[in-house]
Amino acid sequence: MLTAPASPSLAPSLSTQLRATARCVRAVGEGRSLSDVLPEVAPALRPGVQALTFHVLRHLGMARALVALLAERKPQAAVLGLLHSAVALLLEPTDGVRYAPHTVVNQAVGAARNDRSTERQASFVNACLRRFLREQVDLLAEVERDPVARWNHPLWWIERLRRDHPQDWQAILTASNQPGPMTLRVNRRRTDRASYQQALQDQGLASTPVGSDGLELATPLPVERLPGFAQGHCSVQDAAAQRAADLLLEGREWSRADRVLDACAAPGGKTAHLLERAEVDLLALDVDPGRCERIQDTLGRLGLAAEVRCADAARPGAWWDGRAFDAILLDAPCTASGIVRRHPDVRWLRREADVAALVAVQRALLEALWPLLKPGGRLLYATCSVFRAEGEGQVRAFLEHHTDAVLRPSLGHLLPGLAAGSGEFNDNRPGGQDGFFYNRIDKAPL
């Protein structure tokens, strides 16, 4: 584990944070998720290191291209991680804070000297960064021609977006490189949105209503500062993710006699929203035991109850009791290409082959769950992806092979950062929301 500075009363130095950030960036380059890496950072360092690491990953394409020009021979991985981190800090402000260039250079050199894996390369780090400051105009002009550097996404990702969204691909990439707003979902069973917005205002926290239950904060803050958070008055959930409950439940009355399945439920945000909105008999599944615990924790804090089972939704023979469901939410595993602004490591972890593999998983889940739905029931298919293969393409293929499937008017693709489209599979551009895909498919009555 990385260690915090000796004096807990002082904020960690930029040098200390850079050293930890470089290790996180290196770990992502080696294929590890930040969700696994950041918990290894000491708690005192973690908030600052997370902010810096997110910043670096949002500029990693450009940083890699620049470092490749600055270093005639490719340095060892530890040095590369530090150079990528320092160059990214020299490119743009971090969370609105711009460090003086000489401060970044000096602190990066200090980080190199205080790490056994890089201490012999401190002079090399110093030389590369000072050269960047001298020649940055020419260096930036040279790498700007590289699309990976220009857009800070892998080339295959950029090309897929250009094919899938020829009018909007640049806006999607631009939005994906911006931090997402902090959006809350107000728990209707504990309070109402107007009252909770006033509670925020009383603490000097400005917010704007979004969707049916959401409030977008003007400024992000730790959940511990949210009034009533521990008592279950609200949850943190992007406005796009909050659409699921509306789309699955709209148009009818629900009761405890109605069986609802949340097939891939962790971490439990959509499960909880369904229960906040309707008194139903809900079964929440997830294949991972640890993630099932997160669902239970979420429901417990919000004062909600559901049956939570650790099971593979694609293998109903192992868990289904034979009683059909009135509604199914399938928030399927996907590339997460619509939420990279909140998970900037995803773009660097995914490989082009992952798309086809995940499409196969999604198809298997749809096929396995459709027989579990009552005639006249409804299934909401969702992914947090902007790739058409995981959205429109998946639903079209399903409809072609199931004559009892009826597509209902639905949202289709939600594209981050962009005004509303039209058509059977809409391209909606909701502005500050994440990228998502939603379509409701009803089973024809007997």
Q: So which residues are the catalytic ones?
A: 384
SS3 214: strand
Measured distance CA(322)–CA(124) in Å, rounded: 66
Measured distance CA(104)–CA(121) in Å, rounded: 16
Measured distance CA(14)–CA(277) in Å, rounded: 45
Amino acid found at 8: P
Measured distance CA(176)–CA(416) in Å, rounded: 7
* C-alpha angle 302-306-311 in degrees, rounded to nearest 5: 120
SS3 44: coil
Measured distance CA(114)–CA(20) in Å, rounded: 11
Amino acid found at 239: A
Longest Cα–Cα distance of the chain, Å, equals 76
Residue 164 in contact with residue 390, Cβ under 8 Å? no
Measured distance CA(21)–CA(107) in Å, rounded: 13
